[in-house]
Chains A and B, each alone.
Chain A
């Protein structure tokens, strides 16, 4: 629990700016979901047997959680590490770099959980689900997805020379992933080779868990999908820790 004061520090700063933060977390994915869901949904009719808005709900949820964890571990963590020297200050206390990064990892996952909960509240409020009990399983899915992208984000952060560097990650990893992972349309719609590529992407696995749960079914391979998310997150975190150690403590 040595990481807890690090988590708490971030939480207390967030609390000061909570209102705009929640609004920002909520507005973007909500606009996508409702705008595309209602607007595009008019033309699409049913997708995989359900109204498009229902289909899009799972994608929006996963996308929102991914974005939240990614932004926190890229821009916010970079500010703390590189600009404000918060991590350096903490390293002069009894806490270790592992404590700092575990605190950051869990904080980013917490923040993405809040984003996920906000979207989930809308899903519940608009009745975009088939079976309420099954939607409760979305909570662990949100946590796993948050840990996954927070871990990957910490890895990217550890090698970033400046803020501009993060555009590469968004342009080369996040945006293609959003388009390939079944956020907006089923991956079956892709050519075979792209669909194959999509199965290697973590966001695909998050959506493969979330979509059936929203549409009232059990995911087909829940353990596999969960394991993939954990593996990406764990590997990202481990690499991020090793690279940050080289960056700050050599």
Chain B
């Protein structure tokens, strides 16, 4: 039952910052539905994002994550349901609400013709901030993004990770109460992902509310206080990462690979609570991995990996292993 200690302490730290719980929720969504033709892309969703928390929206491709975000921002109109973003009914109050929101979109939308600093100044003007106001903020934002000294660099000269961090800094230009991030680390290498996570943790530490979508379960597990798993337009479960793992999956996993897998599978069923074969891999879910491992040690042709269960296991159990396009 030992979880990785780093994650445990990270969550203890986040739970400690519960002072915002009494504030009004920055985003509440009730009975939200959006149809394209006959298909309900968002199907009667209820969602409340608590102030000061990092809330993750997880789901396979096409689950309705981005559509939910676009609805919340008042960019598209719902077919049914209510959205309140920072006290404003959406989309009617979109202008006022978006003035206090920062958005990190999925696709890079930095201005390639501008320098790093000019990108921030230009974006600030869209919020009605004057140059002096933004100039004051720029050094802090560059620092935050790990781009100190890069103010006059052209955007084209930045690496993918730097561009992402600049996009994050850009989203903070208006000192938003809520930051919405659509797959903030997709396409980044591990070093760059860790830098983005660091930035997001600092935002959480400052009491900002974060709403992020992601494919990466480890990302959600590391960052999020609360997670909603969304599939086919519906929220299928919601809770903290640890609650979800505890409620939906056995705590230990042994993954087994090898040619002799088919024969071995028969005895594995007696040794663990649940077995699932996907392609060439057998996943054994169990509360006590010792008997499985002892048995595996007698079969040297089989390779195995023993690990604690994680959010990905929950996710795959709940949304299935089929490919989504």
Contacts and interface: CB of A to CB of B under 8 A. Distances in A.
B123 to A, nearest CB: 7
B158 to A, nearest CB: 15
B240 interface: no
A84 B109 contact: yes
Contact of B111 (A5, A86, A88, A96): A86
Given A12-B118, A85-B105, A88-B105, A94 B111 contact: no
Interface string A14-25: 001100000000
Interface residues of A, number: 22
Contacts of B76: 249-250
A9 interface: yes
Given A84-B112, A86-B109, A94 B75 contact: no
A94 B105 contact: no
Contacts of A6: 126
Contacts of B111: 9, 13, 84, 86
A90 B73 CA distance: 12
User: Mostly helix, strand, loop or mixed at chain A's interface?
Assistant: helix
B103 interface: yes
A172 interface: no
B128 interface: yes
Interface string B19-56: 00000000000000000100000000000000000000
A84 B75 CA distance: 19
Interface of A: 5-6, 8-9, 12-13, 16-17, 84-86, 88-96, 249-250
Nearest to A245: B76
A95 B75 contact: no
Given A16-B113, A94-B96, A9 B105 contact: no
Contact of B98 (A12, A13, A93, A249): A93
A75 B118 CA distance: 23
Given A12-B122, A92-B105, 6 more contacts: A9-B122, A9-B125, A85-B108, A85-B109, A86-B109, A86-B111
Nearest to B119: A89
Contacts of A250: 36, 76
Contacts of A88: 105, 107, 109
29 contacts: A5-B126, A9-B111, A9-B125, A12-B118, A12-B122, A13-B111, A16-B113, A17-B113, A84-B109, A84-B111, A85-B105, A85-B109, A86-B109, A88-B109, A89-B105, A89-B110, A91-B75, A92-B75, A92-B98, A92-B103, A93-B126, A93-B127, A94-B94, A94-B95, A94-B98, A94-B126, A94-B128, A96-B95, A250-B76
A85 B125 contact: no
Contacts of A16: 113
Nearest to B111: A86
B263 to A, nearest CB: 54
Contacts of B174: 93
Nearest to B76: A249
A250 B105 CA distance: 17
Contacts of B123: 89, 93
Nearest to B100: A94
Interface in B79-132: 94-96, 98-99, 101, 103, 105, 107-114, 118, 122-123, 125-128
Q: Which of B94, B113, B126, B127 has the most chain A CB within a 10 Å cutoff?
A: B126
B261 to A, nearest CB: 46
Nearest to B128: A94
